[in-house]
Amino acid sequence: MNAWGMGIASTVNAPPALSGSGRGKKVAVLGAGLAGMTAAYELSKLGYQVEVLEARPFAGGRCQTARKGFALQELGGEAQTCRFDEGQYINHGPWRIPLDHQSTLYYTRQFDVPLEVMVNENDHAWVYMEDAGPFSKRRLRPEQVKADMRGHVAELLAKSVQDKLLDTRLNPDDQRLLLDYLAHEGALNAKDLAYKGRNGRGWAVNPGAGLRPGTASDPLAFRDLLSSKVGKVYSAVQEFPMHTTMFQPVGGMDRIAQGFASRLGGKIRYGQEVQRIRQTPDGVTVALKDVASGKLSSVSADYVLCAIPLSVLRTIDTDFSERFKGAMKAVSYAPVGKIGLQMKRRFWEEDDQIYGGHVLTDIKGINTISLPSSGWQSRKGVVLGYYHYALDAIEASALSPAERAEFAVSAGERIFPQYRDAYENAFSVAWHRVQYNLGGWAEWDEAGRKNAYPVLLEGEGRVLLAGEHLSYLTGWQAGAIESAWQQIEQLHKRASA
Amino acid sequence: MNAWGMGIASTVNAPPALSGSGRGKKVAVLGAGLAGMTAAYELSKLGYQVEVLEARPFAGGRCQTARKGFALQELGGEAQTCRFDEGQYINHGPWRIPLDHQSTLYYTRQFDVPLEVMVNENDHAWVYMEDAGPFSKRRLRPEQVKADMRGHVAELLAKSVQDKLLDTRLNPDDQRLLLDYLAHEGALNAKDLAYKGRNGRGWAVNPGAGLRPGTASDPLAFRDLLSSKVGKVYSAVQEFPMHTTMFQPVGGMDRIAQGFASRLGGKIRYGQEVQRIRQTPDGVTVALKDVASGKLSSVSADYVLCAIPLSVLRTIDTDFSERFKGAMKAVSYAPVGKIGLQMKRRFWEEDDQIYGGHVLTDIKGINTISLPSSGWQSRKGVVLGYYHYALDAIEASALSPAERAEFAVSAGERIFPQYRDAYENAFSVAWHRVQYNLGGWAEWDEAGRKNAYPVLLEGEGRVLLAGEHLSYLTGWQAGAIESAWQQIEQLHKRASA
């Protein structure tokens, strides 16, 4: 089938089929994020006795959804409690499930988590650049830019072929075929190979009833497009794994976490902060502190599957070798910030006919404004007001929640004049300031991948690690899940030996 | 705002704001399709006494959804009763609501018809051509073709610029900007401007956890792509009105019809076939036959808003002028066929990771196989097995329902080997053989638009016409709705004069 499909990838799409049994063996799983819960769920099915230790009062790790009442206090920050209306939410952690992530989709199917399309590419949304030459501070739609860039480029190449400038490069047959393609791709005029616009860029007046045949719109000038560089804001094809069809769970991403948590039930102990990890040739002991009471306790197990982010794990007292500890330090964690802004009116739909997708902008610290892919045509909606990384994220995270909201609103209103008036309240997160995460996701550099990554993949003795950080899908739920699949196979091999 | 948006179209997105009242005046509306019901609904609000006469036992016209128990007997054909499982359906009439059709979206919002995304562009679906040179009978994904065509073309043009072949056409600044754009658009290698593939075309092996960084896939050869002509199966941008975001009502398109019908309630009389239309200077009389009993009756009104398709209206006895009757004959109606195939397993999702969208093919009589945009990851699904027009539709419509299903299945299994095994049952329609439609939609030619169309728009005396046929959005629900809006404005002006 793959050969027939001409080199299309297969992907890991189910847990490893493991033989034998884990009966009589205990595994302590540290962290009830998706990696930890995947490991716990699958190991349980194999017969292992599993205990999941989670510091937070809820499961999911970064797989969180903020809705009315959701509380967050960043390290050294003000307490925030989400004040969205009932039914409104923001996925402030992972928010997309790509079709390529069959591992994540394996569990949404197993757990009957209903999915809906997340509009991840919307050529009808705005592109708004403040530094784009002739188009600075103008609102464009990607469909205009794509149509016109491809039209003008096709015209340039077609006319060059016609004028025999490419005779040394292409034989007459290929020239004819290329012209045929370019005329199609660029919607060129058959007679003179000129690009004069196309309705895919939008009409000046839409066709309608009666005497309303529609009025064509004029293309943007080639030279203006080139000097604006807006042809670089989109991709010729969506890169992996961003392509259609993108999904989100109906009602919030944490439905996936709940799917695992409800099946693991009493196997998860909440509010248990890992203080120390010690191992002997026969087992591992994990010292815990009850977050609420401060009470200390410990758990012993034959194996530990540690799904704590390395950013946190490296702050915990362990007896890992120096080599292993060094490897744990070799990766940096991404500063990442998001803000959800509840709007009392879906002006992007009502006024601008934009239904989901991302508004791309060069406004500093914003990156994208993303519009909700649920609640179509309803009254209110929660907009993702920024999604930023690196220095932008660090700068914004120094602001108070109210200041972040003001930052987002004052940027957004440059694109949408309705923004400030519609704004009601906000919920923001700076993942690098969240206690049990200390970062959005692992960011490996080349040296780290080469030297530290393989060390961590091996685990140490009876402790194995799992998480998005031990995958090439860092920052994705699929990375966490597939890492768990990979590591439990190893654990089971070790335990069965 | 439009100027700011650089020439983006505004569109008709609400019924005309009419002043005055229709109180004391009666309008007989012929046909409870979307045009008729829109007119009736809006005229009622203005105070008109409205009576809608519908030949079928249900409202909606072509806005139909086939689900378990839905019955259809084409003229001279076998009776079909839909045998899909509970919850399965096919929109065998209109099936898409484009964002540009704000008129349709006006009513889904008014009537609280919940919408979901209809995946109308899916570059991960198959393209399967039997006559495509080196790619004949191979399955490709549009993302591969787009990535590779654009990559190779960008490389060709970039190298031509670099080798100074285009010096007479572009100044050095523009050359530099163009190279920068082409390197981005084509994902060209920075060093030698070569296209060597990109992950947007798919990986040979997807990245994953552990030691699985992903293996890149090789591009298709430029010459093979050119000679296959597969670069012409997609568009550089989706043409109007096909672009993202496309919608469908949750549960079936007939939710829109039901939205109107439930609000019109007793104003609709079902099973009333129009036999004759006669008018005097003071009113119009419509002779009716009760379809069930054969009983004759008549309705008199001050005005008639006739929303019967012209294909049917021209077979009815009227006292319209010869000029008007001539105009009614000047348009042809599209032969259109669709078939829904219930599959016991969603193999396109499970095996091929295709979630919604259209499989494009040159298999004669098929055109597209479209995959459902609802019930993601559930067990069964209804596939649109063909959607054909013109001669293909005429030929297939001569087949019995069972023969049509066999035709569709034997074509589909050339693309999907799982097809026949998964197939359970079918429901098909040939709209040109449906009694009260006699065609899919109006197809105007240039002469008809020029000569006949304006005549029909004027109506005749106290009879005004409405329907998709009196719009430039033929075949779309928005055409019907906007035509009704346009015609009730005229009717109200006449009635108020």
Quote the pLDDT of residue A9: 54
B197 occurs within a structural domain: yes
Average pLDDT of span B251-257: 98
pLDDT grade, residue B10 (50/70/90)?
Answer: low
Averaged pLDDT of chain A: 96
**Residues A253, B333: Cα–Cα separation, whole Å:** 47
Taking only the tens place, the pLDDT of each residue in A378-410 is: 999 999 999 999 999 999 999 999 999 999 999
Average pLDDT of span A75-87: 97
Quote the pLDDT of residue A2: 41
Pairing of β B66-67 and β B332-333? unpaired
B478: its two tokens: 């928005």
Inter-chain CB proximity A186 and B245 less than 8 Å: no
A382 occurs within a structural domain: yes
Q: Are residues B366 and B247 located together in one domain of the fold?
A: yes
| B14, pLDDT greater than 60 | yes
| B2, pLDDT greater than 80 | no
Quote the pLDDT of residue B3: 39
Q: Are residues B170 and B315 located together in one domain of the fold?
A: no
CATH number, domain containing residue B343: 3.90.660.10
Residue B359's SS3 state is strand
Residue in B108, B237, B348 to test binding to A, most A beta-carbons within 10 Å: B237
**Residues B433, B337: Cα–Cα separation, whole Å:** 10
CB B349 within 8 A of CB B335: no
Residue in A218, A244, A305, A476 to test binding to B, most B beta-carbons within 10 Å: A244
Q: With 0-12 CB in 10 A as exposed, 13-18 as middle and 19+ as buried, what is A309?
A: buried
Residue A62 φ/ψ, nearest 5 degrees: -75, -10
Average pLDDT of span A332-336: 98
Taking only the tens place, the pLDDT of each residue in B459-486 is: 999 999 999 999 999 999 999 999 999 9
Quote the pLDDT of residue A13: 86
B354 occurs within a structural domain: yes
Sheet holding B296-301, edge to edge: B296-301, B284-290, B272-279, B317-318
Average pLDDT of span B40-65: 98
In our burial notation (b when 16+ CB lie closer than 10 A, e otherwise), range B140-175 reads bbbbbbbbbbbbbbbbbbbbbbeeebbeeebeeebb
| B298, pLDDT greater than 90 | yes
Residue A426 host element (H or E):
strand A423-430
Q: Are residues B346 and B398 located together in one domain of the fold?
A: yes
Quote the pLDDT of residue B5: 47
CATH number, domain containing residue B214: 1.20.1440.240
Residue A138's SS3 state is strand
Q: Are residues A323 and A400 located together in one domain of the fold?
A: no
Quote the pLDDT of residue B13: 86
Quote the pLDDT of residue B486: 97
Shortest distance between the Cα of A152 and any Cα of chain B, in A, equals 11
B257 occurs within a structural domain: no
Of B7, B105, B156, the CB nearest to A169: B156
Among A residues 155-214, those touching chain B with beta carbons less than 8 Å apart: 156-157, 159-160, 165-166, 169-170, 174, 177-178, 180-182, 184-187, 198-214
| A361, pLDDT greater than 80 | yes
Q: Are residues B326 and B340 located together in one domain of the fold?
A: no
Average pLDDT of span B124-147: 97
Taking only the tens place, the pLDDT of each residue in B69-102 is: 999 999 999 999 999 999 999 999 999 999 999 9
A282: its two tokens: 């026969």
Average pLDDT of span B364-378: 97
**Residues A302, A285: Cα–Cα separation, whole Å:** 9
Inter-chain CB proximity A185 and B157 less than 8 Å: no
Q: Are residues A247 and A363 located together in one domain of the fold?
A: yes
Domain count, chain B: 3
Residue B331 host element (H or E):
none
Of A139, A143, A217, the CB nearest to B237: A143
| B392, pLDDT greater than 70 | yes
CATH number, domain containing residue B37: 3.50.50.60
Task: Name the domain boundary from A184, A205, A233.
Answer: A233
Q: Are residues A376 and A300 located together in one domain of the fold?
A: no
A128 occurs within a structural domain: no
pLDDT grade, residue A495 (50/70/90)?
Answer: very high
Q: Are residues B227 and B106 located together in one domain of the fold?
A: no
B409 occurs within a structural domain: yes
Average pLDDT of span B271-293: 98
Quote the pLDDT of residue A1: 35
**Residues B98, B254: Cα–Cα separation, whole Å:** 16
| A5, pLDDT greater than 50 | no
Task: Name the domain boundary from B383, B406, B433.
Answer: B433
Q: Are residues B421 and B374 located together in one domain of the fold?
A: yes
Inter-chain CB proximity B180 and A229 less than 8 Å: yes
Q: Are residues B365 and B246 located together in one domain of the fold?
A: yes
Residue A72 φ/ψ, nearest 5 degrees: -150, 130
Q: Are residues B176 and B312 located together in one domain of the fold?
A: no
CB A242 within 8 A of CB B47: no
pLDDT grade, residue A10 (50/70/90)?
Answer: low
Nearest Cα residue to B198 out of B162, B244, B147: B147
Inter-chain CB proximity A237 and B180 less than 8 Å: no
Q: Are residues A327 and A367 located together in one domain of the fold?
A: no
Nearest Cα residue to A366 out of A319, A318, A416, A326: A416
pLDDT grade, residue A7 (50/70/90)?
Answer: very low
B200 occurs within a structural domain: yes
Complex ipTM: 0.96
A362 occurs within a structural domain: yes
Parent domain of B279: 26-57+270-331+445-496
Q: For residue B81, how many other CB atoms are within 10 A of its CB? A: 12
